[in-house]
Structure 1
Amino acid sequence: MELRRALVRAAVSRPGVLLATSPGATRQRLAVEAELARRGWACVGGPAEADLFVILGVREGEDEAEGEGGEGDWVAALWQGIPAPKARVWVTDPGRVADALDSGLADLVRGEHGNDHAPDAPDSHHEHHEHHEHHEHHEHQQNGDHPTPPSEHSGHDMHGGHHGHAGHDMGLVEGLPMADRADDRDGLRLDVLHVPLGPVLADWPAGLILRLTLQGDLVQEATVEPVTTPPSPHPPFWDEPWLRTASGEHISRGDAARRLCAAHLDSLGRFFAVAGWNDMAARTRHARDRALAGAAAAELTSLVRPLIRRAQRSRTLRWLTTGLGTLPAEQARQRGVTGPALVADGDAYNRMLVWLDAVDRSAADCDVTEALDPAEVVGPRGRLDTPVPPSRALLDSLPRLLEGTEFACARIIVASLDPDLDELTHVPAPGTVHSHG
């Protein structure tokens, strides 16, 4: 028994972690990702690779959620899809992340079955699971100077059925979706496959479910379906400085610039990861974490400018992303898009360039102490004083951008918009900015 425990302890010393982030849990996600990077633990792309299941956000409704798409529905389905040995933890307090991860690791080592609260981590819940054999998980490969095309790397499986939000969408052998037949654009009879992406997928907007209808490798139809989440009175993390300023609080321009810089670095990290450039994604997220940790403008600038030059000079990245999800400015304006996607006036590559430019400028402004203008209510994804939150307009634009594109390109297009579903859960007091209901 002791030898067996020693072998298990060695095998799970760096467990594969599957993150399940609910809308409104951005602060928790950032804290977990920073701690995982510090420990060298890898985030995995799906349940089959996972040892430790980390659920981020409030626990209410996990057992009571009703109807397809409820939080308890997809959390339970993902948990069932993880092979033993496994453990799971809930993280609701960003300050107790290390405790929660330690608790989960201890559960893996002990291999005991239970369902109780860790006494030293009151804001996290852990569950043990009896195991009989250990499975090996695959670590993400770190690419060098260039991204790897999505079809060539396995770190981010494009087939999202195994990350669906209900048991029948989990992609297990007995639950694979069946194909119908229909005429394609050339008049041929091709299989029609209905594929769900989300809500839990590596480098994916938290809470987003995308339902695709495929013929061959082309997206014929796309439907956006956010996960049902209780409304929150708390402002979205990335929009917080501007919303607080609009409500009368004193926020410095430097603090707003720091949040803007970190937000775009977060988006860029997802974009690079989905494009297969894992090394670049890791470096970008390190700069993001330093921005959120309060690094001075000089340090932050020295971190981001080499990354900006590297991304701008990558011919492979340009080749992979040019022509994907083209959104002309006029169409963006008609759909209510007000942020970087409007400024970009183009495709996924153009949107990345806009983010890079904003990161450069905002990193240099992080030490500015003068007050932020209350009339300047433009967050990372657009204007915050409109009837519709910026990410709602991005989600509304997504189906047309996906239709007619190759399936392997779908996630790059989503990452290039990076809608923040936290904005859809925010219900501010009447009369305040973003009182959209």
Structure 2
Amino acid sequence: MDTPAAADLLLVCGVPAPEDGEWLDGIEWSMPEPALRIVAGESGRIAGALDMARRDLIDRTVTWHRADVADEPGAHEHGDHEGHGEGHHHDTHHDSSPPEASDDQGDQGPNRHRMDHGHGGHAAHSGHEGHEHHQPADHGPHKDHMDHAGHDGHMGHMGHEMHTMGQVAGLPMAERGDDRDELRLDQLHVPIGPALSDWPAGLILRLTLQGDVVQDVAVDHLRVPSVHRLPFWDEPWLRAAQGEKVTRDRAARRRCAAHLDSAGRLLAVVGWDDVAARCRRLRDEVLSGAPREGVDGDLRRTVRRVGRSRPLRWSIAGLGELSADRARAVGVTGPALAADGDAYNRLLMWMSEVERGLDGLDDARPLAPDDRTGPRGRLDGPRPPSQALLDVLPELLTGAEFACARIIVASLDPDLDELALASVSGAAHA
């Protein structure tokens, strides 16, 4: 699914923190009816939660069909009250986490603005959260706004945080401002994130647009949990730095998989879905321990295909120019520094490192403890590698066309899990 507007199920893995409720509500509001949100608090409960969700979605689809039939001419000839009662669905929010971990929000979500005929106490049932649905399609302009927000890949309600001249039917209106040519043009404040297909999870960009040109950028993100868990992509190097025995094979596989994951995300944004799917399949094979001879040929063919495509180069060349000197000055390390160029150069650098990484597969020798270079850069610097990538985003996005913003972000692919490195003992300065 490219946007929430194309989905009918929102699956939350893990128990959400109270402060996550607002953006989860925003995503659910962007989903068309019948929509369902479920919380799988533990990994072992996901299969059961999905089965339950499938049954509920089928039931809701039938209920909505009956409501449409009831609204047809002649359907209310036996009384308005009887027909009205038939058309209302009942809101449930299945939580497959243990009862004590349930995040019961009661009437705190979007559902607080509508009357729930005949089901007012359902949210309090054991094993259910207050299931917050947006209004059906015929409930006025706010629903239209949220569908539009979902289609554009951002949460509509976050627009209320922007300073605008006013609102009409919940829509933030444009305001006037000077553009780079000193002309007074309309400005529109557009938030993107934090949940979007092929987007760094948790990242929020608040863009100021004039026409289709980005004039200003504010970078934000959801709270990064301060758990004592090493970032997945950096784990081999951080464990070796802490004195654990880590093989070079494990580090090489993690680096190759990380770059294939990043390349797959960028290629998907550009529209190369088949090659993106191939990168993701190779990523999974490398992580699962497939022998070198099992992935060597397919991986090298994929690298050559990406490097030889002129349409691909034409589509992203010149976007997000970041010279090595500028990258070094702002603390960027890793592939973004070595690429010394634009989004296309960074993609080629990922693919080149994947190909070089094949030499490390099946190498049982121990990883050197002083090797602190993860997939996105140095892990022993004053700040995590992805923090530097986030810091440089505004200058790369300012002046770019709105359609190019996602390509530039994907070409850097910051990992927000790295932002918790400072709170992990021995991580940033192991």
TM range (shorter): 0.7 to 0.9
Query: In the alignment, does 2:375 pair up with 1:377?
Result: no
**1:12 counterpart residue number:** none
1:386, distance to aligned residue in structure 2 (A): 1.0
1:48 is matched by which residue type in structure 2?
A: A
**1:39 counterpart residue number:** none
- Contact 1:332–1:341 (CA under 8 A) maintained in structure 2: yes
- Contact 2:42–2:97 (CA under 8 A) maintained in structure 1: no
Could you say what the CA RMSD is over the residues aligned between the two structures, in angstroms? 3.2
- Contact 1:46–1:201 (CA under 8 A) maintained in structure 2: yes
Once the two structures are superposed, residues 11-49 of structure 1 have per-residue CA deviations (whole angstroms, 9 ceiling, x without a partner) of xxxxxxxxxxxxxxxxxxxxxxxxxxxxxxxxx122221
Equivalent position SS for 2:181: coil
Tell me the TM-score normalized by structure 2: 0.76
1:229, distance to aligned residue in structure 2 (A): 3.3
**1:421 counterpart residue number:** 416
- The one of the two structures with greater contact order (alpha-carbon pairs below 8 A, sep at least 6) is 1
- Contact 1:169–1:175 (CA under 8 A) maintained in structure 2: no
- Aligned match for 2:235, one of 231, 240, 245: 240
**2:5 counterpart residue number:** 48
Seen in structure 2, the aligned counterparts of structure 1 residues 298 and 83 have a Cα distance that, compared at 3 Å, is same
Tell me the TM-score normalized by structure 1: 0.75
Equivalent position SS for 2:404: helix
**1:331 counterpart residue number:** 326
1:53, distance to aligned residue in structure 2 (A): 0.7
In structure 2, list runs of 5 or more residues that go unmatched. Answer: 61-89, 103-126, 138-148
1:80, distance to aligned residue in structure 2 (A): 2.5
Which structure has the larger Rg over C-alpha atoms?
2
**1:84 counterpart residue number:** 33
- Contact 2:39–2:95 (CA under 8 A) maintained in structure 1: no
Mapped to 2, the partners of 1:255 and 1:122 lie a distance apart of 38
1:375, distance to aligned residue in structure 2 (A): 0.5
- Contact 2:386–2:415 (CA under 8 A) maintained in structure 1: yes
1:122, distance to aligned residue in structure 2 (A): 11
Structure having the higher helix fraction is 2
In structure 1, list runs of 5 or more residues that go unmatched. Answer: 1-43, 66-70, 135-155
1:198 is matched by which residue type in structure 2?
A: G
1:241, distance to aligned residue in structure 2 (A): 0.7
**2:155 counterpart residue number:** 163
Query: In the alignment, does 2:355 pair up with 1:360?
Result: yes
1:205, distance to aligned residue in structure 2 (A): 0.4
1:107 is matched by which residue type in structure 2?
A: D
- Contact 1:213–1:222 (CA under 8 A) maintained in structure 2: yes
- Aligned match for 2:216, one of 200, 218, 221: 221
Which range moved further: 108-117 or 390-399?
108-117
1:52 is matched by which residue type in structure 2?
A: L
How many residues get paired?
362
Mapped to 1, the partners of 2:376 and 2:24 lie a distance apart of 28
Seen in structure 2, the aligned counterparts of structure 1 residues 178 and 327 have a Cα distance that, compared at 3 Å, is same
Mapped to 1, the partners of 2:38 and 2:173 lie a distance apart of 34
Once the two structures are superposed, residues 273-292 of structure 1 have per-residue CA deviations (whole angstroms, 9 ceiling, x without a partner) of 11111122111111111122
- Contact 2:4–2:151 (CA under 8 A) maintained in structure 1: no
Mapped to 1, the partners of 2:226 and 2:98 lie a distance apart of 30
1:227, distance to aligned residue in structure 2 (A): 1.2
- Contact 2:393–2:409 (CA under 8 A) maintained in structure 1: yes
